[in-house]
Amino acid sequence: MTQDTIRVGVVGAGANTRDRHIPGLQAIEGVEIVSVCNRSQESGERVAERFGIGRVCTNWQDVVQAEDVDAVVIGTWPYMHRLLTVTALEADKHVMCEARMAMNASEAHCMYNALRSRPHLVAQIVPSPFSLRVDRTIQRLIRDGWLGDVLVVDIHAGGAFIDQDVEMHWRHNMDYSGLNVMTMGIWYEAMLRWVGEATSVVAKGKTFTPVRQDEQGRMMGVRIPDHIDIIADLASGGQAHIQVSNVTGFGDPPSATIYGSEGTLHFSGDVLTGGQRGDSGLSEIDVPAHEAGGWRVEEEFISAIRGHEVITHTDFATGVKYMEFTEAVHRSRRSGKTVNLPLL
């Protein structure tokens, strides 16, 4: 499929799909979005009208099984990701699946195994976008020894006051989001690019608003934390602390700091700063144009289908790693014990 038109079907047209995936795909020569299925026929029709999509389906199977669909974009909440991905792969379709990858590690492994049995197909998880611009520069500095030995990674994501009156969101609902917690998995995915994976985790979390009202006015229990702290040992020999919170009003903006034996790197708001032993403090580090990354998810997906590159942002193997980390955090939080990785 190097020259032919690639025909895409969309299942789930949420904000990211409408703002990024559909426009991004339609901007690529030789790509046509032929069908869409959303939560209701009416919402699907609105998306189809806005983007000039010819067919609105009321059953996702009609998208996935259609003979005129080569690739499926899955923009649903995580509770549908495994079913849709496996079904699409079994129907010989390429898959782009929205993050977070799955409800839990078992589902992620199921998705990965379905792909491994069909190596001619391309599958992608929409990547963590926070650090795309600076990732390669951070990787180079670590590789070249600028930091010395990597000792500690400290990630903080928060800065807002808790909103106890907001309606129950799918991210509050474990039935829809699974074990995913706020932006925890997204930050872990970014950390994987810099320093590699964790070998053990211990976590504590707190839900400060245990009941919220859903869109139908029903009171629903909330099982996902509003605040979580994680300590992890890293395979590289260092240690990581990750704090993700919806309750830290006036706290510092989201950031990641990597402390080494000879230097420190700090990333926040798309700006990379650093300093080495003997410097007076941190100063901005230039990100060369040839290293600066950016959002090219849709381009990478189509290019991989055409055989021009392989998926790097993000492949299913990486998705499995961040889902195993997500489940390990959940198990530790529930048991109060350290959980080793990879999971057995």
Residue partners of 54: CB distance under 8 A and separation at least 6 = 34, 35, 48
Cα angle: 183, vertex 187, 192; to 5 degrees? 150
**Rounded distance between C-alpha atoms, residue 121 and residue 107, angstroms:** 19
Identity of the residue numbered 24: G
Per residue in 106-150, pLDDT (tens digit) is 999 999 999 999 999 999 999 999 999 999 999 999 999 999 999
Asked if 160 contacts 264 with a C-beta cutoff of 8 angstroms, the reply is no
Q: What is the mean pLDDT of residues 243-249?
A: 97
**Mean of the per-residue pLDDT values for the chain?**
96
The CA dihedral of 108, 113, 115, 120, to the nearest 10 degrees, is 160
Q: What is the mean pLDDT of residues 275-298?
A: 98
Residue partners of 307: CB distance under 8 A and separation at least 6 = 1, 2
Identity of the residue numbered 143: R
pLDDT band at 2 (very low <50, low <70, confident <90, very high): very low
Strand partners, 32: 7
What's the pLDDT at 3? 54
Asked if 301 contacts 73 with a C-beta cutoff of 8 angstroms, the reply is no
Q: What is the mean pLDDT of residues 202-211?
A: 96
Neighbour count for residue 239 (Cβ, 10 Å): 16
Q: Cα 323 from chain centroid?
A: 10
Asked if 157 contacts 253 with a C-beta cutoff of 8 angstroms, the reply is no
What's the pLDDT at 1? 47
Lowest mean pLDDT among 91-100, 159-168, 234-243, 297-306: 159-168
DSSP-based three-state secondary structure for 124: strand
DSSP-based three-state secondary structure for 98: coil
What's the pLDDT at 303? 98
Per residue in 22-51, pLDDT (tens digit) is 999 999 999 999 999 999 999 999 999 999
Which domains does the chain show, CATH number per domain?
4-126+294-313 (3.40.50.720), 132-292+321-338 (3.30.360.10)
